Homo-oligomer: A and B are copies of this chain.
Amino acid sequence: MAQLKGACIIGQSGGPTTVINASAYGAIKTALESDCITKVLGACNGIKGVLEDNLIDMGKEDPEELKYMQYTPSSALGSCRYKLKDPDVDDTDYKRILEIFKKYDVRYFFYNGGNDSMDTCNKISKFMMKNGYECRVMGIPKTVDNDLTGTDHCPGYPSAAKYVATTVMEICRDCHVYDTGMITIVECMGRHAGWLTAAAALANLKGDGPDLIYLPERDFDLDQFTSKVKEIYARTKKCLIAVSEGIHDKDGTLIVEYGSKDIARDSFGHAQLGGLAAFLANHLKKETGAKVRGIEFSLMQRCAAHIASQTDIDESFAAGKAAVDNAVAGVTDKMVGFARKYVDGKYVCEIQLFDLTDVANAEKKVPMSWITETGDGVTQDFIDYALPLIQGQTKLPIEDGLPRFVNLRKVKAEA
């Protein structure tokens, strides 16, 4: 493969995670050190930064300061939720992107995001190929939802899972402190895939976990749920429940919609969920007369850098690095992902490449065989899958007792 010289653009998109910056740092650092890559540009707010010619020169950042990106949650370059149109219907955006690529002689494009971002990445890749503009396009995955297909798991999920498992353990101690009855519901992110909620089961390894776990992979029956809670509560005066925001009944109606009819939708048409824990808490209060508390893990589950998994940080960095290394070596139109191996019984994570066409918009759910027959828990298969991912405490630097996050200069790029 011939050497391809030119600038690169790195963009971040979609809902941020605790470690998306570790991936970006892996890509930026590797790109800055590459002989082929002449300039490293950061797109402000993802693809919108490209469309608006809002690019920053990563080479103008202090390399020592950039290191803090590894431990800084959320997307340091800014994010967006912007859906590119079908180029056969309207190619305005694509022409603009090509114009910007030509302006800065961009020959490498790295896009760091989830399902929708891989769709964006795939469309750009195909457009450039079709138009004969040589540019190597690589997707770098991230999502706390863990629902990207192909890859064993997604950067961002392990840290979110560690947050959920740890926090459930702590809440379990707290909500069982009185001898009077108490029902507690914790609500985790996950519209269609229950990976994050399932992570609550890890707390059961230590005896401080939930009694019931509900994922969106299975239909949810409110009456059956109520009976189960009543039975457990009658027996133990306690009940701790973990639910995915996206649980729905057999007709596909979201349970949170039982409580609220008008759900806001984002620009991808996804329902803006939340409020499920509050709805179920009110429902159970009425049904049982018990003290009930609904807790939403809200943004914390995807930004709690202080409890990130170091395994996740290291793997995320490796994914970003692999995207650049592979692109420089001639690879294009791929998403970097992970394959899992066990060497002497020890978990090992290897880089594997996946076709962007295959991963764009596809969703990977928790296998039905990993959900218990009663539909209110997960099996040992899930535990074996998730446990290696949450190992290792973050090396997040602390100053004045508080996290030290990155502060970028954000110097505007010149063509």
Contacts and interface: CB of A to CB of B under 8 A. Distances in A.
Nearest to A389: B401
Interface string A247-279: 000000000000000000000000000110010
Given A78-B179, A298-B293, A303 B401 contact: no
A208 B45 CA distance: 19
B400 A205 contact: yes
A157 interface: no
B173 A303 contact: yes
B45 A405 contact: no
A169 interface: yes
A75 B309 CA distance: 27
Contacts of A399: 206
Interface stretch (A23-31, A57-65, A390-398): A390-398
Q: How large is the interface on A (under 10, 10 to 19, 20 to 34, 35 or more residues)?
A: 35 or more
A307 B307 contact: yes
A210 interface: no
Interface stretch (A160-168, A231-239, A318-326, A349-357): A160-168
A167 B304 contact: yes
Nearest to A178: B79
A391 B387 contact: no
A165 B262 CA distance: 34
A391 B401 CA distance: 4
Given A73-B174, A174-B303, A296-B296, A387 B403 contact: no
A84 interface: no
Given A78-B178, A206-B405, A401-B392, A299 B295 contact: yes
A182 to B, nearest CB: 11
Interface in A173-230: 173-179, 184, 202-203, 205-208
A80 interface: yes
A401 B390 contact: yes
11 contacts: A16-B173, A48-B179, A170-B299, A170-B306, A170-B403, A173-B303, A205-B400, A205-B402, A295-B296, A295-B299, A392-B401
